[in-house]
Structure 1
């Protein structure tokens, strides 16, 4: 938690920069944005404009999800190829922060969120987002200061560590699944710029149009099939027992894949990445449930996860054959 003094100091720094963009116009105060934002995320007004400010928490190192300058770099690089909020100010002095345009829209994951959207609208948005993902993977990533790209084996190793930290009673069959994935890991494609959690729940939409892809905390360079396999996982509520809601007429995995490929050949070894996506989801859910049960993050709703964790691993094994 930030202290009042820390917020006041940050407010002064932000207002000073925004005053240069809005001379003579009234400036608001930083207000914490609700929701599942990592790090420190605020909103602020400057005249008629509204902005979102992301900052490094005072006293913490600017690494991982707290590396806001890294997020600002990728947002600036994506302008023109992917709909993203425009970055208007960056302050590299620690604790660092940046300000971006406040984009109005709704971020709804059709099969997981409680909503009243028309099924046809959900379908149209998801197909449009497949084309956005294609644009992302074609974006030039040179000069962004990204870490070394992760090939499929390294990506699997990353999530294997997460899975092995999940209590044994929640990951029955996981060791066999991880061994099968490791034994069949394909050769990586040329690395692309990847989001890391690409799905409709991380996109602000206005009507049928994806207005801004958000939550770039874990972007990196990697095999584009990792993003694609994850995105396709959210087409079917049956992937999420006791969690998912049926939405008629959502695109199938094949339809989304075709929209992404736009006439190009099917990606090789793609079933391996579909299985990896399910393994990753099971690992994340198991990790979150463990934190709840250990009292590190109280959220009783996590107790609904075991059926989906089991289903994800079962489906991954089935996909592998």
Structure 2
């Protein structure tokens, strides 16, 4: 869901050029190509794409493809900004086997672009689109079913690589805050007013269910991507080459990321009334594959599926309200929130149908 932009192209190019001159003073003044924004993805942050070209003293051209991520200022999805946490995490991940974009530097003030920003290497490749959904059209829809399965499984393999990192040892990730589902669910429950769903019956029902079925999470917490989905992966052909977007990163059980991976895909197909692409593995196939990648059975996965649907619905409520402020309307009132809330109700019914009755420790707020 793209952020509505009202940037002056020339002023934006001048601001980026000034920053590059200050960042790379020995390289001289670069020539900046056209600045564009990807239209398929991204509501909570703005991304600018451009090529910067320098000429060295011998006249040789040096081209750096850039991606500039600007922190959200007017369209704030989350109650608190995770901006500095996600930059620090991306720097740490650059020293691991999890592929992320190289960071050239960041700017803390909003003087140049209206908000803090980070300048990164732009990795060549393609990202499955949210708008229109990759189930409806785009490069993924044009692939053979077998190659779509490769795209899906490739994302799972990179996510498992992330989950295998030693979050409590070599990597000090304490800056991400308290670990575990008890804290994360508690934060969601405490912020329903911010997300605009305080009196929504299906959200209240889901919150009550989650309180009553809170799992124990016996394993040490792992680094969680938070927004795990193929729409946050850059692909070269059907091969994943980089993971994107760390603003929702936290510490907890890998099941949480996998449930989000599945629900985000379900929303972009069933949730919006579009047939799911042939070749993409089913829920059952995905759970089996990820259990193998983790080296253990998944635990309490029904709980994490309900939690993913619940959290997704909180976010789409906030997104819907922000977009309505810009004058955006939807046919027949089918807002992102209405669609995800309907899907949340189905997930709750599925959970009841599986007779999921693990009591856990419970949660009171």
Superposition TM-score, scaled by structure 1 size? 0.81
2:263 match: 233
Distance 1:290 1:12 in 2: 35
Q: 1:24 to 1:133 in 2, by over 3 A?
A: same
Q: 1:161 to 1:107 in 2, by over 3 A?
A: farther
2:189 match: 160
Distance 1:218 1:92 in 2: 20
* Residue 191 of structure 1, CA deviation: 1.8
Give the secondary-structure state (helix, strand or coil) at the position aligned to 2:216. coil
1:117 match: 142
Distance 1:234 1:113 in 2: 15
Asked whether the equivalents of residues 239 and 311 of structure 1 are also in contact (C-alpha less than 8 Å), the reply is no
2:175 match: 146
Distance 1:199 1:311 in 2: 17
* Residue 161 of structure 1, CA deviation: 4.4
Q: Does 1:265 align with 2:293?
A: no
The CA deviation string for residues 254-291 of structure 1, in whole angstroms up to 9 with x for no partner, is: 22223323262212212110111122223333333344
In the TM superposition, structure 1's runs of 4+ consecutive aligned residues that sit over 6 Å from their partners are 1-7, 57-61
Distance 1:279 1:10 in 2: 39
1:192 match: 222
2:361 match: none
Paired residues for 1:15-94 under 5 Å: 15-20=21-26, 23=27, 26-28=30-32, 31=35, 33-35=37-39, 36=42, 38-47=44-53, 48-56=63-71, 68-79=83-94, 80-91=96-107
* Residue 197 of structure 1, CA deviation: 0.9
Question: Unaligned stretches of 5+ in structure 1?
Answer: none
Distance 1:57 1:159 in 2: 20
Distance 1:163 1:60 in 2: 18
Distance 1:19 1:30 in 2: 22
* Residue 102 of structure 1, CA deviation: 0.6
2:325 match: 296
Q: 1:30 to 1:56 in 2, by over 3 A?
A: farther
Asked whether the equivalents of residues 2 and 58 of structure 1 are also in contact (C-alpha less than 8 Å), the reply is no
2:56 match: none
> 286, 309, 315: which one pairs with 2:347?
315
The CA deviation string for residues 229-265 of structure 1, in whole angstroms up to 9 with x for no partner, is: 1112245579734443321121112222233232622
Q: 1:72 to 1:17 in 2, by over 3 A?
A: same
* Residue 127 of structure 1, CA deviation: 0.7
Distance 1:113 1:145 in 2: 40
Distance 2:281 2:249 in 1: 25
2:153 match: 127
How well do the aligned residues superpose, as a CA RMSD in angstroms?
A: 3.5
Q: Does 1:98 align with 2:122?
A: no
Q: 1:226 to 1:64 in 2, by over 3 A?
A: same
